[in-house]
């Protein structure tokens, strides 16, 4: 059997696995390998190969590789918790990323884990790694898998598997203990090499190796505002009993309960925006707040949040005016460059910061200013006679990716500024071991928006997403805790609503494209949710920014 790998052919026996191919025929990579791509489809390193194909390997420095490490870690964590009979409650719920790690709720949440319990769990995991146990994928008839999970008390996971509607369901097995894990895992426990578990809030914080240097563990960061935002959203999920996909799918199958879920989710967001507007109004009266800064990563819903906030500010007898940061770009030839020599429009230094601060200082002082307009054709700033003077009741709204960066408004009195961070902080999980990445939520939004409004294929959006994420890591996330308030733009029902729109766009990605593997992963993710129609979404819904039908103009 002949395999193709980076413009060379390799003769291998049938039934060989990617791990065996790598060990026998390949040069070491810069980091440990995590999975393989066969004809642009992600497969386990233990997958036997029987046909000629193209093969490439994914290491820990890549997003897909890091996900494989994380999934394997979760499976091992579940096995280790079951092994420790002296734990007060061996159930661990994997909830969301936070503080440069991952937060797990402990048991029934009635008991906070002690340092000794967390250490015992860590030691048990290291023992399982040292024993080099095989990690098997057991393909069970779905009815049998559902029965097995229900007998274990995993009714939510069983319900989610019903939604998938497949004849067979793969379960990950370590020493006879089986769990449903979304995606590929490593074939042996010894392929995990390091981690840190520590008590955190009322649960556990997991820190894993850095992608940039797999020999070092990610440093813990302090994110109290982000954590509080997650907690508030999770409380709403618990109130509705829809913390996981299984119970939510039960509600979505019924027309009336599905409509109520949409109404509650929309009402919750509107209440948050109204509360923010009320606080701004109070601070406008108390300390003279004149500028509202709104920042967030790509496809977080900043624009709709800004428009809905504008409406709520008017009900508080304020007159908002929106200022675009795009009009404060430096002239094209002064734009910073990327390493490859292209213009770096994502850099904060693509903005004329001294001129912006000078303009804002005059506006806050009540002076009349002439506002610039950036001509993207000529790459230069022009003036068209647009003037602005804020009256007592006016307030300025500025939206942009750099809005929370202190350099943006370094010369403005800080008491005159109110900062809002917007992001789709997905709190619902597939089940207790499979959490949803907030970046996946935003990526699906962007794929839909790019297809509908920019005539971009999913291939185009997927190809540029890593670059977008690097920009967010550099220019947005380091400043999110500067916000006075965080607004969670994720809807409870969101993935169920996005599924029927995203699926045909993702299915259009052909296997010959390198982005095929990621398109298939997102399709598999969406398949865990019962799809719903869009008629019940109000025209002011934040999701309308991406799917269309909004009453706002963009």
The per-residue pLDDT for 345 is: 85
Please name every residue paired with 205 in a beta bridge, in sequence order, or none if there are none: 103, 198
The whole-model pTM stands at 0.94
Rounded-to-integer distance, Cα 329 and Cα 508, Å:
36
Q: How confident is the model over 119-156, as pLDDT tens digits?
A: 999 999 999 999 999 999 999 999 999 999 999 999 99
- Backbone CA torsion sign across 377, 378, 380, 386: negative
Q: Where among 12, 29, 59 does a domain terminate?
A: 59
Instruction: For residues 72 and 52, state if they share a domain.
Output: no
- Within a domain: 329: yes
Instruction: For residues 191 and 316, state if they share a domain.
Output: no
Rounded-to-integer distance, Cα 463 and Cα 239, Å:
39
Mean pLDDT of the chain, nearest integer: 94
The CATH number of whichever domain residue 8 belongs to comes to 3.10.20
Instruction: For residues 152 and 92, state if they share a domain.
Output: yes
How far is residue 451 from each of residues 55, 505, 508, 525, measured CA to CA in Å? Answer: 30, 8, 11, 19
- Backbone CA torsion sign across 88, 94, 96, 97: positive
Q: Does pLDDT of 90 surpass 90?
A: no
> Do 428 and 245 touch, CB atoms closer than 8 A?
yes
The per-residue pLDDT for 89 is: 63
List the single range of 106-115, 182-191, 467-476 with lowest mean pLDDT.
Answer: 106-115
Q: Where among 10, 44, 59 does a domain terminate?
A: 59
Rounded-to-integer distance, Cα 512 and Cα 519, Å:
12
With cut-offs at 50, 70 and 90, classify the pLDDT of residue 464. very high
Instruction: For residues 234 and 323, state if they share a domain.
Output: yes
- Within a domain: 267: yes
With cut-offs at 50, 70 and 90, classify the pLDDT of residue 554. confident
The per-residue pLDDT for 92 is: 86
Q: How confident is the model over 299-345, as pLDDT tens digits?
A: 999 999 999 999 999 999 999 999 988 899 999 999 998 888 888 88
The per-residue pLDDT for 1 is: 73
- Within a domain: 240: yes
Return the higher-pLDDT residue of 541 and 86: 541
List CB contacts of 328: < 8 A, sequence separation 6 or more.
351, 352, 355, 356, 359, 372, 374, 381
- Within a domain: 178: yes
Instruction: For residues 55 and 96, state if they share a domain.
Output: no
Q: How confident is the model over 75-88, as pLDDT tens digits?
A: 999 999 988 866 66
The CATH number of whichever domain residue 101 belongs to comes to 3.30.980.10
Instruction: For residues 236 and 144, state if they share a domain.
Output: no
The CATH number of whichever domain residue 283 belongs to comes to 3.40.50.300
Instruction: For residues 183 and 150, state if they share a domain.
Output: yes
Instruction: For residues 146 and 274, state if they share a domain.
Output: no
Instruction: For residues 538 and 455, state if they share a domain.
Output: yes
> Do 78 and 433 touch, CB atoms closer than 8 A?
yes
Q: How confident is the model over 5-48, as pLDDT tens digits?
A: 777 888 999 999 999 999 998 889 999 999 999 999 999 999 99
Backbone angles phi, psi at 217, to 5 degrees: -90, 145
Q: How confident is the model over 44-61, as pLDDT tens digits?
A: 999 999 999 999 999 999
Instruction: For residues 216 and 230, state if they share a domain.
Output: no
Q: How confident is the model over 349-368, as pLDDT tens digits?
A: 999 999 999 999 999 999 99
The per-residue pLDDT for 113 is: 85
Domain count, the chain: 3
The per-residue pLDDT for 224 is: 94
Rounded-to-integer distance, Cα 155 and Cα 365, Å:
61
The per-residue pLDDT for 343 is: 87
Instruction: For residues 160 and 304, state if they share a domain.
Output: no
The per-residue pLDDT for 108 is: 66
Instruction: For residues 199 and 346, state if they share a domain.
Output: no
Percent of the chain with pLDDT over 90: 85
The per-residue pLDDT for 6 is: 74
With cut-offs at 50, 70 and 90, classify the pLDDT of residue 106. confident
- Within a domain: 553: no
Element (DSSP H or E) covering residue 79: helix 63-83
The per-residue pLDDT for 340 is: 83
List the single range of 84-93, 120-129, 182-191, 401-410 with lowest mean pLDDT.
Answer: 84-93
Q: How confident is the model over 258-307, as pLDDT tens digits?
A: 999 999 999 999 999 999 999 999 999 999 999 999 999 999 999 999 99
Structural domain harbouring 262? 226-547
- Within a domain: 552: no
The per-residue pLDDT for 179 is: 97
- Within a domain: 114: yes
Q: Does pLDDT of 206 surpass 80?
A: yes
Q: Where among 173, 199, 221 does a domain terminate?
A: 221
State the CB neighbour count (10 A cutoff) for residue 462: 23
- Within a domain: 81: yes
The per-residue pLDDT for 2 is: 67
Q: What is the 3-state secondary structure (H, E, C) of 404-457?
A: CCHHHHCCCCHHHEEEEEEECCCCCECECCECCCHHHHHHHHHHHHHHHHCCCC
């Amino acid at each position: 059997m002949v395999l193709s790998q980076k413009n060379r052919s390799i003769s291998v026996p049938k039934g060989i696995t990617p791990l065996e191919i790598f060990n026998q025929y390949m040069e070491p990579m810069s980091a440990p390998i995590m999975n393989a791509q066969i004809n642009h489809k992600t497969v386990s390193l233990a997958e036997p190969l029987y046909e000629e194909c193209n093969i490439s390997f994914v290491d820990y420095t890549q997003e897909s590789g890091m996900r494989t490490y994380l999934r394997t870690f979760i499976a091992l964590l579940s096995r280790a918790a079951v092994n420790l009979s002296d734990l007060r409650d061996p159930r661990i719920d994997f909830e969301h990323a936070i503080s440069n790690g991952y937060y797990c709720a402990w048991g029934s949440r009635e008991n906070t884990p002690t340092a000794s319990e967390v250490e015992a769990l860590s030691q048990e995991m290291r023992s399982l790694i040292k024993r080099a146990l095989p990690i098997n994928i057991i393909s069970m008839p779905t009815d049998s898998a559902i029965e097995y999970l229900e007998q274990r008390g995993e009714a939510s996971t069983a319900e989610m598997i019903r939604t998938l509607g497949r004849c067979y369901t793969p379960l990950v097995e370590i020493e006879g203990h089986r769990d449903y894990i979304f995606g590929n895992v490593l074939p042996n426990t010894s392929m995990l090499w390091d981690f840190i578990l520590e008590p955190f809030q009322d649960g556990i914080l997991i820190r894993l190796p850095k992608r940039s240097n797999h020999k070092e563990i990610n440093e813990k960061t302090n994110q109290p505002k982000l954590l509080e935002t997650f907690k508030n959203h999770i409380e709403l999920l618990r109130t509705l009993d829809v913390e996981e996909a299984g119970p939510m799918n039960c509600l979505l199958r019924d027309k009336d309960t599905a409509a109520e879920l949409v109404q509650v989710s929309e009402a919750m967001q509107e209440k948050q925006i109204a509360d923010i507007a009320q606080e701004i109004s109070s601070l406008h009266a108390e300390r003279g707040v004149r500028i509202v800064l709104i920042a967030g990563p790509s496809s977080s819903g900043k624009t709709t949040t800004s428009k809905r906030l504008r409406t709520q500010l008017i009900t508080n007898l304020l007159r908002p005016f929106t200022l675009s940061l795009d009009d404060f770009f430096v002239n094209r030839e002064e734009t910073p460059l990327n390493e490859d020599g292209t213009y770096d429009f994502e850099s904060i230094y693509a903005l004329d910061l001294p001129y912006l601060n000078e303009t804002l200082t005059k506006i806050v002082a009540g002076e009349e200013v002439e506002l610039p307009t950036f001509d993207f054709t000529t790459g230069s700033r022009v003036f068209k006679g647009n003037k602005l003077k804020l009256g007592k009741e006016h307030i300025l709204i500025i939206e942009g990716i750099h809005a929370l960066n202190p350099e943006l408004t370094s010369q403005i009195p800080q008491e005159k500024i109110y900062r809002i961070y917007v992001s789709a902080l997905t709190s619902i999980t597939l089940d207790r071991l499979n959490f949803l990445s907030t970046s996946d939520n935003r990526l699906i939004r962007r794929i839909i928006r790019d297809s509908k409004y920019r005539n971009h294929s999913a291939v185009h959006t997927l190809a540029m997403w890593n670059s977008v994420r690097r920009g967010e890591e550099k220019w947005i996330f380091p400043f999110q805790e500067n916000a006075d308030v965080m607004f969670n733009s994720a809807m409870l029902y969101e993935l169920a609503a996005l599924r029927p729109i995203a699926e045909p766009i993702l299915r259009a990605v052909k296997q010959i494209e390198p982005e095929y593997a990621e398109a298939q992963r997102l399709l598999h993710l969406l398949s865990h949710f019962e799809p719903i129609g869009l008629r019940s979404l109000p025209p002011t819904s934040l999701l309308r920014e991406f799917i269309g039908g909004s009453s706002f103009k963009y």
